[in-house]
Amino acid sequence: MAHSLDRLGLIKEKLKYLKQRDTRFQTFGASEHMYESRPPLTPNEVSAFEQKHSIMLPEDYRNFLLYIGNGGAGPYYGLFSVHMYNWELATVQNNFLTLPFPHQAAWQPNSDTIDKEALDEDHTYFGNYWVQGSMRICHFGCGVYMLLVVTGSERGHIWFDDRTSDYGIYPTGNNFLTWYETWLEDSLRDIK
């Protein structure tokens, strides 16, 4: 845990430095979040979310919520609050987060073919089945979202849901903290 806290402390420092350097919000999406994080959650608040949805959040994301913040500053248009994950899915499918994420590799079938062969609405190209076991944590723009997988073999990893551009669903290859740190490093390097 000490290593994790050191890593989170470094993230806080880099985020503060990025905010000081990018006063004109040159980084894509920064004008939306202005490098401000929402207040961190308490352990009880995180536990209540996990109990409500019958899951355990990936440890690095859980620690981020506890020590950095519950959304705000982050890649693209910023991180969503943990409570925004549900979009419309929580009301449609109560066990959405407990179901295993169905992918281990990039997924991009022909959308017309999959819609014709779909067993039900959940299995159409834009159906919920293809993103179950994950939560939206960030908006990339143009209807493209970043997903944090919370259940299944890809648990803890970040994936693109790029179906609106007909590119399917594919992995970033990073866990949450590595993905976040990569954004920080890239942003710091790109500030002029």
pLDDT tens for each residue of the chain, 192 residues long? 566 779 999 999 999 999 999 999 999 999 999 999 999 999 999 999 999 889 999 999 999 999 999 999 999 999 999 987 555 554 456 688 999 999 999 999 988 888 988 888 888 999 999 999 999 999 999 999 999 999 999 999 999 999 999 999 999 999 999 999 999 999 999 886
Q: What does DSSP assign to residue 81? A: P
Say what the alpha-carbon torsion angle 28, 68, 182, 192 is, to the nearest 10 degrees. Answer: 50
| Predicted local distance difference test score (pLDDT) of residue 189 | 93
CATH architecture, range 2-190: 3-Layer(aba) Sandwich (3.40)
Check: CB of residue 35 under 8 Å from CB of residue 27. Answer: no
Q: Where are the domains of the chain?
A: 2-190
pTM, whole model, 2 decimals?
A: 0.92
135: three-class secondary structure by DSSP: strand
| Predicted local distance difference test score (pLDDT) of residue 91 | 47
